[in-house]
Amino acid sequence: MAKLLYIKYQDYRKPEVDIITSIYEEDGVRFVVKEASSYIAQEHLERIGEFYGRQKESYQRAGIALNRCEQQGNHLVFEYLEGKTLQDKVDDLLERGYEKEAKQVFREFFSHVKQLSIKKAFEGSNSYRQVFGDANIADDYIIPAPANIDFNLDNVMENNNSLLDYEWTFPFDISLGYVIWRTVENYRLHNPERAEKVAAELFSEEGIPQKKVAEYQKMEDAFQSYATDPYSLKRYTDEYSFDKRVDKGISRYDKPVYGIPEELSWRDREIVRLEEQVQRVESDYQNSTCWKITAPIRVIGKLFGRE
C-alpha cells in the first residue's frame, strides 16, 4: 500500500499552472507524484513529461541529468532523489567564508548550462511575450525550444547535476543570459547577507551589466505575473506532513496515487486542503486583537448561559 508522506499545494498560482506535488512510500521506496489541481492545468503538466522525453539525452550530453519522469494516467511520477543540492554546497562555503570556492560552484554548473545553448540572436515570439513581457533583450545566445528556466541551485543535486524538477519549460527559445541571471539572483535572494558580493562579481564575469539586470528583472516580474494569482486567498505554499496527521487522503487506499480515479484523488486532497484552511482561519481569528478584547464578554456570557 502506498503511504502518503507529504503533499504540497501552491494556491498562489493561476489555475492554468497549478500543480500538486506529493511524496509517497511503497515497500520502502519513495517516489514523487505531480498532478494537475484541475483539468485546466493538465496541459501544463503534460508539457513537463514531453520535455523529459525530448530533452533528456541532450541534457545528459551537457552533463546535466533530468530526474527520471514517467507518465501514469493523468499523473507524472518522478524518482525521489536524496542528498545535498548545489545550494547546500554554496551555503556551506559562504558560511565558512570561502567566496572564491562558492563562485567556482556557479561557474562549473554554468559551463554545463551553456552547452545547452546555441549562438543565435534572441528574438521574442508572441508566445514568449505572453509569459515574459516586452523586455528589450539583446542577447547573442539562446537555449532553444523547448527551454527550461529552472536552474536554481536548490533544484540541482550536488553529486551529478541532476535537476530535481523541470516544471518551467516553454515551447520557445529563452535567452541564456536571463537563465544565468535568474539562477544567481534567486540564490542572492535566498542568502542576501552573504551572497550580495558574489552575485555582483558573477554578473560582471558573465557580462551582465546593470542595464541588462533591469531588463531581466522585467522578464522575471512578467513571468511571476503569468504564474501567480494576485487574487488568491493565500499567498504562500501549504506543506502538510502526513506522518503527524490522522490517516487521511490517499493513504487509506491500497494503490499508488496514479492508480486511483482522478475524482477521488482530487477530492481527498481538496478535503485536506480545506480542513487546513479552516483551522488556519480559526487560529488567526483567535489570535486577533478583536478576539482578545472580547474575551471578558465571552466569559460573562458563559457564566449566564449565553454562549
pLDDT in tens, 2-41: 889 999 887 788 999 999 999 999 999 999 999 998 889 9
pLDDT at 291: 63
> pLDDT band at residue 285, thresholds of 50, 70 and 90?
low
pLDDT in tens, 83-103: 999 999 999 999 999 999 999
Q: What is the mean pLDDT of residues 259-283?
A: 55
Please tell me which residue, 120 or 293, carries the higher pLDDT value. 120
Q: Who's near 214: CB < 8 A, 6+ residues apart? A: none
What is the distance between the alpha carbons of residues 17 and 45, in angstroms, rounded to a whole number? 8
What is the distance between the alpha carbons of residues 164 and 154, in angstroms, rounded to a whole number? 9
Does this model's pTM top 0.85? My answer is no
Percent of the chain with pLDDT over 70: 75
pLDDT at 276: 59
pLDDT at 296: 66
pLDDT at 251 over 80: no
pLDDT at 122: 84
Q: What is the mean pLDDT of residues 52-79?
A: 95
pLDDT at 177 over 90: yes
Q: Where are the domains of the chain?
A: 3-80+232-271, 86-227
Exposure letters 285-307 (e unless 16+ CB within 10 A, then b): eeeeeeeeeeeeeeeeeeeeeee
Residue entry with cell 523529459: 52
| DSSP H or E stretch at residue 181 | helix 176-190
pLDDT at 73 over 50: yes
C-alpha distances in Å from residue 229, one per residue of 48, 219, 277: 21, 17, 18
State the chain's mean pLDDT as an integer.
83
* 3-class DSSP assignment, residue 25: strand
pLDDT at 303: 58
Please tell me which residue, 116 or 8, carries the higher pLDDT value. 116
pLDDT at 250: 34
pLDDT at 98: 97
pLDDT at 263 over 90: no
What is the distance between the alpha carbons of residues 24 and 1, in angstroms, rounded to a whole number? 10
pLDDT at 279: 66
